[in-house]
Amino acid sequence: MLHLGYMVLASLGLSLVPSALGATLLASHYNGQLYSLSLTTSGTTGKLAITSQATGCGTTPGWLQLYPESKTLYCFDESWGGSGYIAQYTVGSDGKLAMTAQAKTTGNSVHGLLYGGSDGKGFVATVEYSPSTLTTYKLPLSSSSKPLSLEKFTLTQKGPNSRQDVAHPHEANLDPTGKYIVTPDLGADIVRIFKIDASSGKLSACTPGKASAGDGPRHVVWWKSPAGVQRAYTVNELGNSVSAWDVAYPSDASGCLALTRAQTISTYAPGKKGGSTTKAAEIRVVDNFLYASNRADQTFGSNQDSIAIYTIDSTTGAIAWKEAANSYSYYPRTFQFSKDGTLVAIGGQTSANVAIVARDPATGKLGSLVANLQIGSKGRAGEEDGLSAVVWVE
């Protein structure tokens, strides 16, 4: 719960953070390292520090999936060399990581999560960007783990963007019921949908949602109104846009989840657009606000890219442009909000920094830079190096 003083001052446009906050975050870098971070704040300023490091997630850790209730972290290796790893860690009270399992993969996993089983955590699903595959594994993981299934995606025809020469699945996302895996495919301009058999881990393909040609959907998030209206939102990397999707669940167990695109708007203010090297990256929902990160737009100066902010209509789920905010980073590949919604951690891929930025929960606006730390070496614009992911441990 927010203090009254915070709410009053925030309404006046001041950027504040809760006083005497202590928090732990985890970050990954394409140098092969995972970092545990401590954040301490006092008033409107704070300090980030590296408290420990870990390895075990291959050469290019690309995605971190944290399960806070069990303090378990899964890391997925984006290695482009034909093989990679999934690594499992326990997260100590001080944020220190201890690897408890490691399994070899087919490589180039850009995302992964747990699904199925009796508790929703019986299997692992990963997507591989260039191999154009979705791969599953049965838990527990070990050095002898083998793929449970591997589905290869193909295109009936190439897309209008040069990067759409093959299918490029970019995320394995669970719908809110946990009964479907939803996979935005940047290369195919579709959002793939798979029904889950919880006991066996088997996935059955449903009719995909169709994006506009050249959108290149990358990630998806979910939202539901108090009246029960369900929406999904995708960030479209190639189109520099976000889309709202109507969500329809089947009336019986034999049917499938359906997604129908209802709206697409730019990740830039009306009248503006991205350049030849800009690429939308990540998307998040907090209450009735939607956020998407832009890479390489430098809206706020040299190496200072933007976070696009939208309002979500509380009745219909329609989105409307609100404003752009400074990400205090270059190539913001990753960002995540604190549990109370007062802070956001933004990971700059090329700048290799974690920026902690204040957020006003009432207006959804992002404000001042609270803390900032470079982690590892900086990357090269457009290359797979630098910082890859950041998550709060809450």
pLDDT tens digits along 320-333: 999 999 999 999 99
Rounded CA separation 56/45 (Å): 34
Least confident of 78-82, 285-289, 365-369: 78-82
Put simply, whether the predicted model's pTM sits higher than 0.85 gets the answer yes
Q: Side chain identity at 343, as an amino acid letter? A: L
Q: Tell me the C-alpha to C-alpha distance, in Å, between residue 217 and each of 190, 210, 212, 258, 290.
A: 7, 10, 9, 16, 16
Tell me if 233 sits within 8 A of 297, measured CB to CB. Answer: no
Query: How confident is the prediction for the chain on average, in pLDDT?
Result: 94
Give pLDDT, residue 164. Answer: 98
Give pLDDT, residue 16. Answer: 46
Rounded CA separation 236/297 (Å): 15
Q: Which tens digits make up the pLDDT trace of 105-117?
A: 999 999 999 999 9
**Bond before 131 cis per omega within 30 degrees:** no
Which range of residues forms the domain containing residue 205?
4-393
Asked if the model's pLDDT at residue 40 lies above 50, the reply is yes
Give pLDDT, residue 43. Answer: 86
Rounded CA separation 91/60 (Å): 20
Helices (H), 188-249: none
Total structural domains within the chain: 1
Q: Reduce the secondary structure of 63-104 to three states and give it as a string.
A: EEEEECCCCEEEEEECCCCCCEEEEEEEECCCCCEEEEEEEE
Least confident of 4-8, 120-124, 149-153, 268-272: 4-8
Tell me if 185 sits within 8 A of 200, measured CB to CB. Answer: no
pLDDT band of 21, cuts 50, 70, 90:
low
The tokens for 107 are: 């490589």
Give pLDDT, residue 319. Answer: 98
- The closest alpha carbon to 289, from 265, 262, 319, 333, belongs to 319
Q: Which tens digits make up the pLDDT trace of 57-88?
A: 999 999 999 999 999 999 999 999 899 999 99
Rounded CA separation 189/264 (Å): 13
- Domain of 305, CATH number, reads 2.130.10.10
pLDDT band of 306, cuts 50, 70, 90:
very high
CA angle 15, 289, 230 (to 5 degrees): 160
